[in-house]
Amino acid sequence: MVRCFDNPQTYKRFIKSCTIQAGDGGTGRVREIKVMSRLLAQLSIERLDKLDDDRHAMMVNIISGDHRLLNYKSTTTLHMDDRENGDGKTVVIESYVVDVLEGNSKEDTCLFADTIIRCNLKSLANISERMACELQG
C-alpha cells in the first residue's frame, strides 16, 4: 500500500482523488492530488523522487499546490520490527523537511504536517491490521 504512488488514498484519508500527470511508473512520476475540503487546501502536485524496493524507501516532493506545505519533501521507510517479541510487525517512519511560510511559526507548520502524517499512519496501521486478521481467519 505504501509504495503505490498512484493510489495513496488507499490509506491517506484526506485525499479525494489522485491522477497521474506525467511519468511512466518510476521516479519522476507526477501526481495531482485533490484534497478533501476539510483541510485548508484543494490541490497538491507531487513528484516521486525515489522508490527503492531494496531499502523499502520512497521519497516524495510536493512541487506545487494551494496548501501550507512549501518545499515539502518526505521520506517514508519501512522497517521490520526485529525485537524478540516484534511478531513480524513492520514499523513505518515518515520524515520530512518543509519551509515555514511567512506569517506562520515553525511550531504551527510542524503541527500541521505532523497531524496529517499521524492520521495517515494510524489509518495505514488500522487497514493493515484488519487485512492481517482477515488473512488469518
CATH no. for 8-136:
3.30.530.20
Number of residues written out for the chain: 137
Regarding pTM above 0.75, the answer is: yes
**Which residue type sits at 65?**
G
**What digits encode the pLDDT tens for the residues 83-128?**
666 566 788 899 999 999 888 899 998 998 898 899 989 999 888 8
Q: How far apart (Å, rounded) are the C-alpha atoms in residues 101 and 19?
A: 27
Q: How many CB atoms lie within 10 A of CB 22?
A: 11
Task: Name every residue whose Cβ is closer than 8 Å to that of residue 2 and which is 6 or more positions away in sequence.
Answer: 11, 58, 76, 78, 92, 124
pLDDT at 87: 67
Check residues 133 and 103 and name the one with the higher pLDDT: 103
pLDDT at 37: 66
pLDDT at 62: 92
**What digits encode the pLDDT tens for the residues 37-86?**
665 778 889 999 999 888 899 999 999 888 878 899 999 999 887 666 65
pLDDT at 30: 94
* pLDDT at 11 exceeding the cut of 80: yes
